[in-house]
Structure 1
Amino acid sequence: MIVKFHARGAGRGSGPVDYLLGKDRARDGATLDRGDPDAIQDLIDSSPYAKKYTSGVLSFEESDFDRTTKDKIMSSFEKALLPGLDADQYSCLWVEHRDKGRLELNFVVPNVELLSGKRLQPYFEKADKPRINAWKIATNAILKLHDPDDPINKRELTTPRNLPKPKHEAARAITDGLLSMAGNGELINRQDLVIALEGVGFSVVRQTKKSISISDPEGGRNIRLKGLIYEQDFKFGAGLREEIETASARYRATSQERIREARDVYRTGVEIKRAENQRRHPRPEPTHECISFEKLALDSAERSACFGRLLEREFGGREKRLSRINWKSANRARC
């Protein structure tokens, strides 16, 4: 599974809703899983904010899951995206697509907190990406999903924007992506490799017989890339396939450590985001008293006792009045 957030978020609500479900709400391969499309569209249209909604997709290599698994994934993602908010504080539309032969769970969240009408910011990449990425890593591992980060499955080259800060981790991430591209036949020689690096934004500053160096996007010393794939006479062959398989085995061997790290990052990220959401969007104080069952029972007993006293006064007083009337009648009769 991969998680992707779309850059769009302005315009009318019909844009994302019609794309996901079709203008006639009958798009082939689309299924409404959660949410009210008309309500989502109205919330987006009535929003006074520049970015009116947040949208994205959970994309799976698997063709489908049972309903219980899909519900668990959607609920878990909402908690990861919007910790600290209750279900009545936000609205989320979920639409699944299966028209590409694999499952996609698409989501749209209007950027408005429902109880106050204030602007809601579900996702800010610089702050929120580590938390969401950690959720992805843990979910892929727990549910044993197809892992796009495994070098044998990797399809995209790591970009400067997504590069890990430690240089050895950065070099490994770049190498794993290039190995996958070579394994798919996209790289045939070193020239193809250099073009691929520069195509995603890296600056190749040095080439030797056995290595390539790129400038560090964060500054400082260059990142030196070594290995079979970086050699001057590199050509795709059996040796490269073996290197890809070795990288994949190394990746799987460190899975437990990677899951532990992801959980730590996730917990920390959730605590920060929860505190931020609860500070910005506190629930309003209730305007009525919450009455417990015990209090209801006590009030009922008090009302019964009070009613009993009223009856006693009413009927007791009536009996006394009747006694006085009977006494007066008896005295007149004697006279």
Structure 2
Amino acid sequence: MINAVQGHRTNSIQEAINYLKSDHDHNGAFRNVKPRDFAGSALDCVYAAESIDRKHKYVSGSLAFEPSERPTDKELLAVVEAFRKTFMAGLEHGVNFVDYWNIHEDKGRIELNYIIPLTELTTGKRINPFPPGKAKEDFKDSFDAYINHQLGFDQVVRDPLKATNSKFEAKVLPHSKSKLAEQVRANKPDKENISDNVAYQIHQGKISNRQQLCDYLENFGEITRVNDKFISLKIHGSQKAFRLKGPVYEYGANFQKLKLESATKEAPHRKKLNDSDFQKVRDTLKRLTDSRKEFHQKLISQPMVGRSNKNRLYGAKSIPKQSAPVKEVQQTPQKAPTQVQAPLVSTVPKQVPEIAQKQPTAGQPGMKDSPTKESASSGPTSMGSSSDSSIGNLQAQLSDLRNQIANAKDPAKAASLKIRAMKLEQQIGAAVEADRIRKLKESERFSGIKKKY
């Protein structure tokens, strides 16, 4: 078994779920074995993802088993639970996060696919099961090794002399129809052939250091770049170079050690962990899991309030432009935007209960009494009708959201609605303050005109 993380996605989560549930694969071919739901909830994931304002909405991946590895559903459920307790340590499923799992068996092996929205439900903060960096790879590798050992499966042993595929080649290339993908696909057989030839030369003892490796590669084309982690090669007759990446292509590689590891790749002792190796894996997994748990518990212990250096709340960076009060505030003198962009926390809770009780509709604005007495008495009666109507619409939306929250039986849906309601409350508070300032300034301007006459 190996955990293949597909990456953090920006597209529709519903489309991703539809694909996992579809009877056809990415090429449109009919699956001879229908996908089946296994754990979590697809609907919960949609609700959670819809509450995210950030670019990346969810992460997807697959726990892929070898054809000879046939775990039972009971064993697979234990793997799912172990996955949650490891990568989401410190968070409770259904309370702090949701996920969706299903099974594909159309390729002759079991693929346990997952989708996880990147949001913590009680605060709306971003969570990430697979943050970038070396710790991510160590975390994944130790989890894979632990599960394979527990289930009695062979360990995943990579050939250190083989060139590895880039993320683009492994994840994007099989599905992309772009010109770049076509060029890479055209060169890929050459890359694999060169990698095999390099491995053969090393086994024959004809390549024993990086300089000899580069000299040999020049027989195939031009070396365009040499990096600590890879060597770029543009073969004769090609317009695009590709990267040869892997342990043997790295700076400082020990060719004799890698040669021995490659020669014993299929050896039985490489396929199983002895007691000492398993203890190391278990210690690494515990250390990384404890670190993740501590991070998550700190995350949920601090409510999502404004940052003092930014004077704004997490989530939307500004009030949507279509809101009428914001447009008018932008035309006021310099001091007004400062007050609107940094609404006081005390503004919202004082006004929102009144909004909920009045339950205004779009045709009957409910905030006519909210502006100050000075603004209401001295300004013309036609002032602010557009602003009041816009605020009334926001209040109606908030009232509807509260009704949905009260009737929501699904915890994930309720959490998603609460996050939206919180953001709407903040927007209403800012809009009310903006309208009050605008009407006050209109009143002062109107009074100044009357004094002239």
Q: TM-score range by the shorter chain?
A: 0.5 to 0.7
1:251-288: CA deviations, max 9, x gaps?
2576332211111111110111111101111288xxxx
Tell me, yes or no, if the aligned pair for 1:30 and 1:97 is still in contact at 8 Å.
yes
TM-score (norm 2): 0.45
The CA deviation at 1:114 is 1.0
Matches within 5 A, 1:209-288: 216-217=228-229, 222-226=252-256, 244-245=263-264, 248-252=267-271, 255-282=274-301
Tell me, yes or no, if the aligned pair for 1:4 and 1:57 is still in contact at 8 Å.
yes
Task: Please provide the CA RMSD for this pair.
Answer: 4.1
Report the Cα distance in structure 1 between the residues aligned to 2:194 and 2:278, rounded to whole angstroms. 31
Which residue matches 1:52?
57
The CA deviation at 1:78 is 1.0
Matches within 5 A, 1:192-211: 204-207=210-213
Is residue 84 of structure 2 the alignment partner of residue 78 of structure 1? yes
Matches within 5 A, 1:99-138: 99-126=106-133, 127-138=135-146
Report the Cα distance in structure 2 between the residues aligned to 1:256 and 1:186, rounded to whole angstroms. 38
1:292-324: CA deviations, max 9, x gaps?
xxxxxxxxxxxxxxxxxxxxxxxxxxxxxxxxx
The CA deviation at 1:121 is 1.8
- Which structure 2 residue ranges, 5 or more long, are not aligned? 25-29, 168-191, 203-208, 216-225, 231-248, 304-453
Q: Which residue type is aligned with residue 127 of structure 2?
A: L
Which residue matches 1:180?
none
1:152-208: CA deviations, max 9, x gaps?
xx99655799xxxxxxxxxxxxxxxxxxxxxx99976448769xxxxxxxx943249
Which residue matches 2:35?
30
Report the Cα distance in structure 2 between the residues aligned to 1:267 and 1:105, rounded to whole angstroms. 24
Q: Which residue type is aligned with residue 57 of structure 1?
A: S
Tell me, yes or no, if the aligned pair for 2:23 and 2:35 is still in contact at 8 Å.
no
1:34-69: CA deviations, max 9, x gaps?
122223123223311111101111000146322211
Relative to structure 1, the CA distance from residue 44 to residue 193 in structure 2 (aligned partners, 3 Å threshold; closer, same or farther) is farther
Range with greater deviation from structure 2 (184-193 or 33-42): 184-193
1:205-241: CA deviations, max 9, x gaps?
32499xxxx9753999632413896xxxxxxxxxx9x
Paired residue secondary structure (1:272): helix
- Which structure 1 residue ranges, 5 or more long, are not aligned? 162-183, 195-202, 230-239, 285-335
Larger radius of gyration: 1
Relative to structure 1, the CA distance from residue 90 to residue 188 in structure 2 (aligned partners, 3 Å threshold; closer, same or farther) is closer
Q: Which residue type is aligned with residue 18 of structure 1?
A: N
Report the Cα distance in structure 2 between the residues aligned to 1:120 and 1:95, rounded to whole angstroms. 22
Which residue matches 1:7?
7
Relative to structure 1, the CA distance from residue 228 to residue 107 in structure 2 (aligned partners, 3 Å threshold; closer, same or farther) is closer
Report the Cα distance in structure 2 between the residues aligned to 1:227 and 1:189, rounded to whole angstroms. 18
Paired residue secondary structure (2:267): helix
Report the Cα distance in structure 2 between the residues aligned to 1:43 and 1:189, rounded to whole angstroms. 49
The CA deviation at 1:101 is 0.5
TM-score (norm 1): 0.59
Paired residue secondary structure (1:113): coil
Which residue matches 1:294?
none
The CA deviation at 1:18 is 1.1
Which residue matches 2:44?
39
Q: Which residue type is aligned with residue 79 of structure 2?
A: I
